Structures are given as structure tokens and as C-alpha cells.
Chain A
Amino acid sequence: MEQLTSSLTPRTPSKSPVAGSSQQSSGSVAKRLGNELMTLMMSASPGISAFPKNDGNLFEWVGTIEGAPGTVYAGLTFRISISFPPNYPYVAPAIKFDTPCFHPNVDINSGGICLDILQDKWSAVYSVQTILLSLQSLLGEPNNASPLNTDAAAIWNNQEAFKTQLMRHYRPL
């Protein structure tokens, strides 16, 4: 039932009248996203940030992640896009890298990310902030056991060669 409602609901909280329950739910989703935005803005975690793309649509965000100092990604900044489903937070948001990111768990072409908490390990207690923090730590500590980018996984242990490959693909903002 949940699935069915979600597929009927427009992805954006549109102004057109929709069925009572879904309207209510999209309203409460928007409220939750508003709160998350507020929390994110007010708690200054260094190197992570996100903001809605457009006014009026709280479901599409743009995020920014800076590589943590001490890792090969230090000093680099990556842009990501976050798309919240209408039944958020029961379903994880869809996240992908917009800046090409050479990383064992990131698809270099599509920007897709292989991270457990974004798939089967997702829980409603996570928030934008926890996702961003997880992504930031994922950059420094990849899960080489299940790579999306096998080339990257292969040369991870040779950090210098990895850095060269990384910089070849990297585009500054």
C-alpha cells in the first residue's frame, strides 16, 4: 500500500489537490526536510553542506562535500545531488556525485554510490547530515570488498598512483 501511494504522489509537493493522506504525508515530509535543513544550517560540521536547489521544492537538494584532511581527497570539493522520495524518511534518498569522483565505491560515469546505509541498511533515523558525514568518511575509508569501480579498488593501496588517477578525473567546482 505504501508503495502504491508513493507512486501516485507527485515527486514534488505540488499545489494541485491530491488525495488527503498523501497530501498530508508530503506536507509532513516537507516539514521534516525543513527541520533537517534548519539543523544542518545551524550545526556547523566542517566540510559538509547541502541546500535545496530551488525555492518551493524541498525534495531536490545540492550538497557539497570536502575531502577530509589527511586523506587522498584532502583539499578537493565534490558536489552531489540529493533527491528525496515522497515517502522519505522511510525510503533512503537517491544520491549521486555530480563532480566525477574516482573512488572504489563510486561509479565514475554515473556518479552512483555504493553505500550500505543508502540501500538496505537505510533507517528513518538517518538524516541529511548523517548521510553527508558518512559520505565524507567513505571517501577516506572505501569498502574495497564490494567495489563499483574495480580499477580504483585495485590501485587503492598505491596511494600515489591513486591520486594521479583521481586528479585526472577530478574537475574543480
Chain B
Amino acid sequence: MARKDFEMVNRCRRLPVCLEIFLDELRQKFYLVREDVDSFLAQYEVCSKSSVRYFTNVIVFQQSEDPTHISKLIFRLKEWYDAWLPSEELGATIRNAFILSFQTQLYSTLGPAFVKGFKDLIASTLPSSDPEAPEKPPDTAMWVIFETLGFLDRYESIIASAGYEHIEAYVLENCAGQWAEPMMENLRTWMSEKIVPWMLLMYGREATTTDDARVMLANVGSRFDFHMAKTLCDLRTREIFDIIVDYPDSNGALQDLKECLQRVDQRGALVKSLRKANRKRLLHPGADTRLILSQYVSTIKCLRIVDPPGVLLFKVADPIRRYLRERPDTIRCIVSNLVGDEDSGDSLVDESEPIVPLQQPDTEDYTDSNWEPEPIDAGPDFRTNKPSDVISTLVSIYDSKDLFVKELQVLLAQRLLAITDDNEVKVEKERRNIEILKIRFGEAALQVCEVMLKDMTDSKRIDGHVQSQKASIVHPTIISRQFWPMLESSEIVMPGQFQVLQEQYAKEFSTFKPDKRLRWLPHLGTVHLELQLEDRTVKADVPPLEAAFIELFSEKNIWSMDELIAAVGSVDRSAALKALLTWVHKGILREDEQGTFRLLEIAEEASPTREQPRLASTQQEIAPVTSLQQQQAEQMKVYWKFIEGMLTNLGQLPLDRIQTMLKFAPGYDQTIEQLAGFMEAARREGLVTVKDGIWKLTPK
């Protein structure tokens, strides 16, 4: 019936006019739709505002706005659409004209408020991240309406961004701080279980078979997967410093990062982030050198997992290495770790790591059949970091291993001299250490250490012999001066019976070894004393200076500090006071007035000074061996004489000439940069002046 009418109209060629009128009518009546839209949006906004007020203090990942009003609006729009839609019999042309016109009108009506609401609505259709929440059946009807109203095409980016945000929220909630297990697998499972069904509503709506759907989703799916990887990568990049701190408990996170970095190109960002974190949290004066070293070692291990070729490591390590080079105690730290100080906490070196010789940065091996070109983001000065052991890497912070060997000698000397009572076990332990280090540093480098160890055993043998000739209570450690690091010299002369004992021993020694002479280092060592006083006997193990003082008190009972110092040669006042206070604490001496000490032959009861002896006061706190740094300062003094000499005689010289002339100074090994620093220091002290790079002495 209607069709007949329609054909009649068409035949009269009145159809275009009718269509025109119809569309016009639609435009004029559209205010009805607009009113509805406005009223729903108003309700939505009121609702969302109140809810915002409610939730300000509560952090919820789910949207706080209630999108039900938007949902109602959508259904209402669909009602309008259906009501006005021309019947199918009128043909596609007319329907399309209507759809176009309706959508145009609709879109011009829907403002930014709707976009926001629409996004909330979409977000509410996503699977809840709370696993407890009941699974909502997908609201297929609504998606059909979206399709009918053309929202899916028009608002695709909004739908996608709702999806992205959902993924981001999920990743952040589930992965932040969770480093033990790799998360990537779980996330992918979650994606395919929860997100893919949702995506099907949107992107797979025309699919009839699963294969169809798969093809349709392939493209957009990889976009979502990329976004997930990127979110995880960003998260791990932010967390990288703490991940390294937690290593090896954070292995999972590192696996994730490795996988993500292959998917997402964030290597630059990772390097930047880690360098920034290092600068802020690690490379500052507040951080202990040990800490920096152990974090560096962890960084090496972690970044090797993430990026086996080592480009990332190279970029990150550079500032750390430069910083460590400037720290004065870096070598000491590394070396004490090498010899396994018991008191230095956990070792940098993995016990299980095989002991291998130090690796030199070797030149390219052209016969390597597994050769690969350098990674694309490697810098020009990138050196292929063959997976070498940690110690080699640490030692390579410095240009030469000589510094380590020297420090090693100093450390060994300290440890050997600290051994008392012929503790053979400890000497053996040092020997074992040295043997291990020989493998690393090579036999030749450790020859001096070998001599030092030999001195220890030889001393014991010589002592045995001397004792057999004439028993003595002195048991010296006889060391070869040439091979030991500089020992702090001392002017102490042991008084009284000590001197007698020393002389007797020296006499026996020279009959045993006529070509050698003993030079006593009386300030090193320990003395076992038994003091017999009127009412008591006191046993004590004390350093020699303490023993010397108390020996003097056997001559007379009251000494002033100056007298005491004069009697033992020359000692530091503070050292003398410390030694005297040891006896005061033991209740043997008493300070009567400032600087005068009296021997307490009879113990004073309830004397306030009779405290428990402080442990620290009986031990020598100052290291007997001058540290490498002091030795260097000593060396620089020698070099200064040479610089002074050449400038006196040759007038003025540029820095590079000074550097070459300094090779007349024996053992000169400073770089020109070090020399420049030294000259600068001399200039600040007013010793030299510089003009146009030419140095000369300040005229007297």
C-alpha cells in the first residue's frame, strides 16, 4: 500500500521535494532530541559532581562517575532514531539521507560534556580489574546502538583511549613494586581473557567466524599489546634504581624489562632515567664508597640481563666509574674486598664466581666466527664489553692495576703486623688470599707480597734460633725494609728493661746473621705486662708506648707529662695522653693535677676513674702503615723539589716541559692532568705563578 503511494509520488517527480521537506522537518523537530540530551547530561553532571565531592579523599581506580545517565541517554537517542527512521520500503537512498542528516544534527548537539560521559560509559563496560567483582555480561544491545548511531567510527579514539587507560591502571596496580616474578606472561593472559572479548564488541563486530575476528583484531590488538608493553616499560624504567637495589630478588622485573625493550624502543629513556637516579641517589658525598661499589656491581649484573651486548651498561656505568675514580678510598674498598675482610660485610664478589686472571680490554678478534656488529645505539667510544668477571671490571676503573697492587701491599702489611702471638692460622689465611690474587693479578705483580709473607715465616724461624741460643721474652717480627710499604716511623726509645731486652736480642741476632742489623720499630707490637704493686698484681696487654710509660713509673712514683715524653724520646702529646689515660682507666695511675701523674701503689677504692677499661683505648687505632694516599703526598713533595729545581735554573717552563723534565725524578708516574692539579695547588699556596701557560717561581 505504502509502496504504491511512494511510486506514485516518485512518478510525479515530487520525491526530492518530499525528502527535502522531511529532512527539514527533522531539523526543526530536532530540538526535542536536544532537550533530552541536555536534561540527561545535566543529570549526569550533577551526579558526577556529587560523586566527586564524595570521593576526593579516596583513590579508586574505577571511574567514580556514574555513567548510567549516559547509558539512558543513548537508549533514548535510539528511540528517537527508530521513531523517525523511514521504513525500509522507501529504499536505501532515503534511509541514508535520513541517517546522515540525523547523525549530523546529533553530533552538533553533543558537546564535550557528552564526550567525557561517553568515555566513562565505555570505561564501565571494561572488565573490572577487581577479580572479586562479578563478571558482567557484555551489553551487546548497547554496542549495537553505538553502531547504529555511528558512534563507533566517530568516537573510536575515545574508545581506544578508554581501553589504554584501563590497561595502564591495571598494569600500575598489579605490577608496581612487584619484581620477583616476570609479569609479562600474566599480563598477556589477562589481555586475552579480559580485554580481547571487549575489543571484539568494538572491532570484531562484523566478524562472523573466529578466524575473521582474529584477522580484524590483529592490527588493533598489537596496538593494545604495544601499549601494555610500553606502560610496563615506563613503570620499570621509573623503578629501575630500586630494582637494581633489590637484585637478585628483582630478577622477574629485569626479564620483563628485557622483553619490553625489545618491543618498545625505550632504551634511551632507560639510560636517562637510571643515570638521573644514580646522580641523585648514589653519586653524592653522603653515599658510602662500599655502597656505590656494590650498587655498581648490581648494575653490571642487572643490565647484563636486560641487554647482553652491554651498550646500556656502558652508558650507565661511565658516570659511576668516573665518580669512583675521584673517590680516595675506592681502591682500598675494592682491595679489602679482594682479600675478604671479615668485617667488611657482604662481599662484592660472588663466591661462586670462578677465579680468573684479570682480563685486559682485548683487541678485536678477527677470526671470531660469531662476530656481530656493534648494536645500533652504541656510541663511538663504545668498547665491546665481553662478559668479563666483576673484579676485572672493577679493576678496569683505573688505568693500571699497579695502584691495586700497591694498595694490596699496604693492606697486607697492616694485616700481617696486626697478627699477634704467632697466629699461624692467620698467616696461612693471608697466604691463601695472596695465592688467589696471584691468579688474578699475575705472579710478578705480587712478588713483594710474597716477600712479606716469607718475612713472617722467616721471622719465626730466626726467632726460634735466637731463642735457642739465649732465651728472651722478645719475639720480634723481622721484616725487609725494601719490600714493605713505608712504615710510620717513630722516635720512641724504650726505657729501662725493655731497652736491655732489645739490645740483648739484637746482639744474638747479629751473631746469627752478621751481615744484617736490626732496626727496632718500637711503636709497633704488643707488650704483655704483669705489674706488681703493693697490694695487687695487674696483667695487661698494651701497646709499647703504654708499657714504656709504666716502666718509667717503676723509677719514681710521680711524673709530669713533659718529663715522660722526654724520657721516651719524642712522642705526640695526644698519643702520650692517650697512653697515660689507658693506665688511669685501669686504676694504676692517677692524674693529680693537669699533666702530673702519680702511681697508685695501693688501689683507691671507689675512685671515680676506676671504670671498666675502654676496649678501644687498649688497641692501636691508628694504622701503622702509611696509606697509599700519604705515600703519594710524600712522593709529590719529592717531585716539588724537582719542579723547584728546574724552575730555579731554567727560568720559566710550560706545563708539558715540566712534565717531560720530571722524568728525571725517579718513579715519576703522574699524568699531566695530575701535574696540572698539583701546580694549581702550588699556585694557590703562592709558590708559583702562571701566565699564558708558562709557570715560574714566585720571586722571593
Which positions in A face B, CB cutoff 8 Å?
34, 37-38, 40-42, 44, 49-53, 55-56, 58, 61-64, 79, 173
Cβ–Cβ contact A49 & B648, under 8 A: yes
Cβ–Cβ contact B649 & A41, under 8 A: no
The listed residue (A34, A41, A173) touching B641 by CB distance below 8 A is A41
Q: How many angstroms from the CA of A40 to the CA of B649 in the assembled complex?
A: 13
- Which residue in chain A gives the minimum CB-CB distance to B664? A37
The answer to whether A51 and B638 touch (CB under 8 A), given A34-B664, A34-B666, A58-B664, is no
The answer to whether A51 and B650 touch (CB under 8 A), given A41-B645, A42-B641, is yes
Kindly name the residue among B648, B651, B657, B665 whose own CB sees the greatest number of chain A CB atoms within 10 A: B648
Number of cross-chain contacts by CB at 8 Å? 48
Cβ–Cβ contact A49 & B649, under 8 A: yes
Q: How many angstroms from the CA of A49 to the CA of B641 in the assembled complex?
A: 11
Q: How large is the interface on B (under 10, 10 to 19, 20 to 34, 35 or more residues)?
A: 10 to 19
Min CB distance A14 to B, Å, is: 17
Residues of A within 8 A of B657 (CB): 55
Q: How many angstroms from the CA of A38 to the CA of B668 in the assembled complex?
A: 12
Which residues of B in the span 42-64 have a Cβ within 8 Å of any Cβ on A? none
Apart from A51-B642, A51-B646, A173-B651, 17 more pairs, CB < 8 Å: A34-B664, A38-B665, A38-B666, A40-B645, A49-B644, A49-B645, A51-B649, A51-B650, A51-B661, A53-B650, A55-B660, A55-B664, A56-B660, A58-B664, A61-B649, A62-B649, A62-B650
Q: How many angstroms from the CA of A58 to the CA of B666 in the assembled complex?
A: 14
Residues of B within 8 A of A37 (CB): 645, 664
Which residues of B in the span 635-689 have a Cβ within 8 Å of any Cβ on A? 638, 641-642, 644-646, 648-651, 657, 660-661, 663-666
Residues of A within 8 A of B664 (CB): 34, 37, 51-52, 55, 58
Q: How many angstroms from the CA of A38 to the CA of B663 in the assembled complex?
A: 12
Residues of B within 8 A of A44 (CB): 641
Q: How many angstroms from the CA of A52 to the CA of B662 in the assembled complex?
A: 11
Min CB distance B106 to A, Å, is: 91
Interface of B is mostly: helix
Cβ–Cβ contact B666 & A64, under 8 A: no
Q: How many angstroms from the CA of A58 to the CA of B648 in the assembled complex?
A: 17
Min CB distance A55 to B, Å, is: 4
Residues of A within 8 A of B666 (CB): 34, 38
Min CB distance A111 to B, Å, is: 16
Q: How many angstroms from the CA of A63 to the CA of B646 in the assembled complex?
A: 10
Residues of A within 8 A of B661 (CB): 51-52, 55
Residues of A within 8 A of B665 (CB): 38, 41
- Which residue in chain B gives the minimum CB-CB distance to A62? B649
Q: How many angstroms from the CA of A62 to the CA of B641 in the assembled complex?
A: 16
Q: How many angstroms from the CA of A40 to the CA of B651 in the assembled complex?
A: 18
Residues of B within 8 A of A55 (CB): 657, 660-661, 663-664
Min CB distance A63 to B, Å, is: 6
- Which residue in chain A gives the minimum CB-CB distance to B666? A38
What are 22 contact pairs spanning A and B, CB under 8 A? A34-B664, A38-B666, A41-B638, A41-B644, A41-B645, A41-B665, A42-B638, A49-B644, A49-B648, A50-B649, A51-B642, A51-B645, A51-B661, A51-B664, A52-B664, A55-B657, A55-B660, A55-B661, A55-B664, A58-B664, A64-B648, A173-B651
Q: How many angstroms from the CA of A51 to the CA of B646 in the assembled complex?
A: 5
- Which residue in chain B gives the minimum CB-CB distance to A63? B649
Q: How many angstroms from the CA of A56 to the CA of B644 in the assembled complex?
A: 19
